[in-house]
Structure 1
Amino acid sequence: MRWLFPLLIVLLAGCGKQATDTPAIGRPIPVPHTRTFSVVERNGYRVVDLHANIVTWGGAANGPEQRVRVVLVPRSIKAPALTGDLAGAVVVRTPVKRIAVNYGGSEALLSAIGAADRLVAVGGTKSYDDSIRRRVKNREIGQIGYGWHSPPNLDVLLAAKPDVFLMTIGDPAHADAMRRAIAMGIPVVPVFMANESDYLGPVQYARLFGMLT
């Protein structure tokens, strides 16, 4: 019976392990220069694992690690069952037509890939893009608050009905808002550009945004 106690320890440890703690199954898609997300492809859809410690705005990456598994499923195929390594994953139907962001850098990358016209909510009126700023002031785009300043206004976010919310988390206290948004049915993809050590790391988010659009 001496073997029983160690076996129970192993079983209990396995029960607490989340699917996102292990790599998703599929064909890896090379994503050089980034350390905050990885992508695999299988059965016509893609699985994206995003993970990073939260960087407090103007500070160090000393916040708790956040892990989110996102499944990008083309609208033309049936979504997979969220079981096994997909348990607890966020499903995003692609291509997305309505996008919410809370960081100017995400706006810039969407503009660079020609998808800024899909924005339905942004942080506020401090956009460097004249057309986006004009649409915000004309109330064509909602204002949910900038990630470096506050958690998103979930009422405005719900009203905007985005297909995806590209959320930058500027404070550990804001992570709960991400989980609340997901629980309310808003697909959230966390954006960890500030955690990239390679100067080309943030550029890979343009590629990720391209996969979404």
Structure 2
Amino acid sequence: MLRVQDDDAVRAVTLDRPAARNALTPDALDDLRDAVAGAAQPVVYVHGAGDAFCAGADLDTVRGLDGEGGAAFARRGQRTMNAIEDADSVVVAGVDGAARGGGVELALACDVRVATPDASFAETGVTLGLFGAWGGTRRLQRAVGATHAADLSLSGRTVDADAARDVGLVSRVVEDPRAVADEIADNDAAALRELNALLADDADRETTDRREAEAFGRLLAADPFED
């Protein structure tokens, strides 16, 4: 289900179930969590094999669940998405093709989201009588604002890459998303880790200011200007 390829600066994690449009089973969620959270590289690049990024939760799994099992599956997905969001590495989602439901939630858990011109996005849960329960209701609002989040999640409509960029779901539309991961990885690894943690910090202003100053001091103490 997953392929992992490492170099010194980037771990590439490929969702490799193209016949199922890279839909995520419970075991795949666990493997994805371990692959991203366990990376030693400063950047992790997540993308899909074939013509889709990720179709979301595996529907054959979901159809067989009762209420208790459904809640457990949601919590399992939440643990994975939270681990991706909390990873020390900068996690870049390269969306090429369809991102649907949990696939959108996976992209939202990543620090940087870029898309190819062939990418498309839809929160399709509502069309099935469900909704995205891997933390996506919170992350979607944070990414695009309450108005766009309500529109996308309550309508279930599909948006293309340009529309996704316009509302803030992705930051760029590019031909080669991996190049964005490499661009980020060209920077200082310590600075990436410190800055990535600060960008995700939602504490009060006094606390974030203190943490920012402390992180800046740590980087200078390591003498980044030394040749």
Q: Give the TM-score normalised by structure 2.
A: 0.26
Higher RCO, 1 vs 2 (CA within 8 Å, ≥6 residues apart): 1
Structure having the larger proportion of residues in helix: 2
